[in-house]
Amino acid sequence: MDRPALQGPGGPHPDVGRRSVLGRADFSRLLASIRTAGYRIVGPTVRDGAIVYGPIEAESDLPVGWTDRQEAGTYRLERRADGALFGYNVGPHSWKKYLFPSRERLFTAHRKGASFSIDAEPADDAPTAYLGVRACEVAAIRIQDRVFVGGAAVDPGYAARRRRVLLIAVQCAQAGGTCFCVSMGTGPGVTDGFDLALTERIEGDRHEFLVEVGSERGAQVLVGVPLRPADADDVAAMVATVDRTARSMGRTLDQNGIHDLLLGRLDDPEWEKVGERCLACTNCTMACPTCFCHSTEEVPNLDASQVERWRRWDSCFNLGFSELHTGSVRTTIPSRYRQWMTHKLASWFDQFGSSGCVGCGRCITWCPVGIDLTAEVRAIRSNAAAGRPPAAGGSG
């Protein structure tokens, strides 16, 4: 099977692990070099009051001097004085919008008399550089790799796109109010799975990027970019940056025994309680960088001579998502929240060998009523510890 490799093929390149320093003034040279190497660049940009991912044509498209403040159900853009390029935390978009598009035509079928033919969808596999991928996002991409190409059934569109990604990671220099990657063991430091990793360093007049090579592909785009070798002080500053971020997480989630805890509390009274707040609006699952649920839809023309099959993002919070021949399996909101959370944090281990959560905090920030996944885990843990009995009626 042709799996997309997180590392370049054929063992580590001699440059892998090499660290150098790029001056702020030369940052646009790096962008130019990436483009010259044949990649279109997508990355962070300010739009509609948030930092989202979009095409990066020039350095000025980046969120220069912007940051964000995040809490449960709240996100606000704010100015920062230091002109940082990556001085923000993850926003409403994730890279899944590129690897696993929200709407994708899978094929088109044409009726030919009593038979039919199928036109495969041409693969959109233009080489693309993802600029500014955070540690939790590298972990999320790894999880979706497992889902889409890691099993017996390989998703051809995802695989084609994934293979052509130049992944440029950025170490988080600050934690957001809803971040908990430390709890999930996914960050804040990016340790592998990248082609290049940048650490932005701003101290007084100094504004530089420590650049670490993670693959041969990454080394290639650095050719011709003005760099100086990193010294011990540069590396120490990078380590200190990541340490500082790790100590300032906005949230924590105790993963200890979580699989058995959650699956053993399917009648916990908390499901009913959270169900009173939950809107079943799907925002958490849409914002989640690992949620992969989708529906396929046949779109015929009027005389049904041609049918397109489309795939679109769907959600376990939708009534229709669990509809079988006798109706929906999960009619109540508590049952849908329970399905999502127990899958994400518990049964995902059984299915894919890891948690489905990377601690990015998007589900907390982008929940319109601010439901906090970490608080829900705490509530259930405390109910379990107190031996609290299930709510009458459960949450069918």
Partner 1 sequence: MASTTRPRLGVWKFASCDGCQLSLLDCEDELLAVAGRIEIANFAEATSAFAPGPYDLSLVEGSISTPHDAERIREVRAQSRRLVTIGACATSGGIQALRNFGNVDEFRRIVYARPEYIETLARSTAIADHVPVDFELRGCPINKRQLLEVIAAFLQGRRPTVPTDSVCIECKRRGTVCVVVARGTPCLGPVTQAGCGAICPAYDRGCYGCFGPQDTPNTAAWSRRLRELGMRPDEIARIYRTFNAAAKPFRLAAEAAPSGDP
List binders of partner 1 among 68-127 (CB under 8 A).
73-77, 91-93, 97, 102-103
If the CB atoms of residues 12 and 368 are measured against partner 1, the closer one turns out to be 368
* Residues in region 311-340 near partner 1 by CB under 8 A: 312-315, 318-320, 331, 333
| 197: β partners | 169, 212
Q: Which of 119, 192, 297, 350 binds partner 1 (CB under 8 A)?
A: 297
Residue from the set 83, 257, 368, 389 that interacts with partner 1 by CB under 8 A = 368
Q: Strands, DSSP E only, in 72-121?
A: 74-79, 103-112, 115-120
Name which of 209 and 313 has its Cβ closer to partner 1. Answer: 313
Q: Toward partner 1, which CB reaches closer, 124 or 350?
A: 124
Closest CB to partner 1 among residues 104, 212: 104
Shortest spacing between CB 368 and partner 1, in angstroms: 5
With CA atoms as reference, report the closest residue to 88 among 121, 51, 139: 51
Query: Would you count residue 50 as binding partner 1 (CB under 8 A)?
Result: yes
How many positions of this chain bind partner 1 (CB under 8 A)? 48
C-alpha to C-alpha distances, 23 to 77, 210, 211, 218, 233, nearest whole angstrom? 26, 9, 10, 18, 15
Binding piece for partner 1, criterion CB under 8 A, among 119-127, 130-138, 223-231, 309-317? 309-317
Give the per-residue contact string, 239-278, with partner 1 (x = CB under 8 A; - = no): -------------------------------------xxx
Query: Residue 361: left if φ>0, alpha if ψ -120 to 50, beta else—which one?
Result: left
Q: Which stretches within the chain are classed as H helix?
A: 27-36, 96-99, 135-149, 156-163, 181-184, 216-222, 232-247, 258-263, 269-277, 283-287, 333-342, 348-352, 362-365, 373-385
User: 22 or 360: whose CB is closer to partner 1?
Assistant: 360
CB hemisphere CA count around 154 (13 angstroms): 12
Q: Determine how many CB atoms are found less than 10 A away from the CB of residue 282.
A: 19
d(CA 124, CA 98): 10
For partner 1, the closer of residues 21 and 51 by Cβ is: 51
Query: What number of residues does the chain have?
Result: 396
Using an 8 Å Cβ cutoff, are 247 and 123 in contact?
no
Q: Residue 72: which of 275, 359, 337, 371 has the closest Cα?
A: 371
Minimum distance, C-beta of residue 104 to partner 1, in the bound complex (Å):
11
Least distance from partner 1 to the Cβ atom of residue 77, Å:
8
Residues forming contacts to partner 1 in the complex (CB under 8 A) are 47-50, 52, 73-77, 91-93, 97, 102-103, 276-283, 286-287, 297-304, 312-315, 318-320, 331, 333, 365-369
